[in-house]
A and B are shown apart, each in its own frame.
Chain A
Amino acid sequence: MSIKPTPRVRVPANAKVGEIIEIKTLISHEMESGQRKDAAGATIPRRIISKMTAAFDGKVVFEANWHPAISANPYQSFFYKAATSGEFTFTWKDDDGSEYVSKNKLTVA
């Protein structure tokens, strides 16, 4: 593993009540599919991020279960209907058990 997974999330800082905002996320990760072979012909073991979860103030609002067919440095966008001010918690679960977390605040006026 040569790169340390770093999440990058774009959430608008402010939104109006009822406004549907787009959330864009990206995390650096090789997403090793388990299908590739190394120079010696041995299969390189699978290691992907299999789950990405978005929660708002502790309540899960969106979840993506990724299969090995998701590209390296996986990108995911989705929508959220702003209601109250609060904080998003984005969690990525790696095959090796690690979790990568990003927290982003949203102010609703």
Chain B
Amino acid sequence: MVCKRVIQQLSEYLDGELDSALLEELSTHLERCEDCRIVVDTCRKTIEIYCNTEPLPLPQDVRERLERALREKLGKRSADESS
């Protein structure tokens, strides 16, 4: 396997979607190619950092305006339905 092929298969490799023959080829390549190993490791880290980052709470002013908008809309529908 050449480096170009490793990069093409990178996402499938990191997502655990490679079949066993390709996985073995790629793993063998990674054992001897430091550049590819670095790309794979840092790409894995990129995904992990994003996946593990919780969103910040809604800013207070955004939450207040959202609650107001929902109250108006939801209240209106309830009133329409009961009339």
To the question of whether A and B form a pair in one complex, the answer is: no
Binding site for B on A (CB under 8 A): none
Interface residues of B (CB under 8 A from A): none
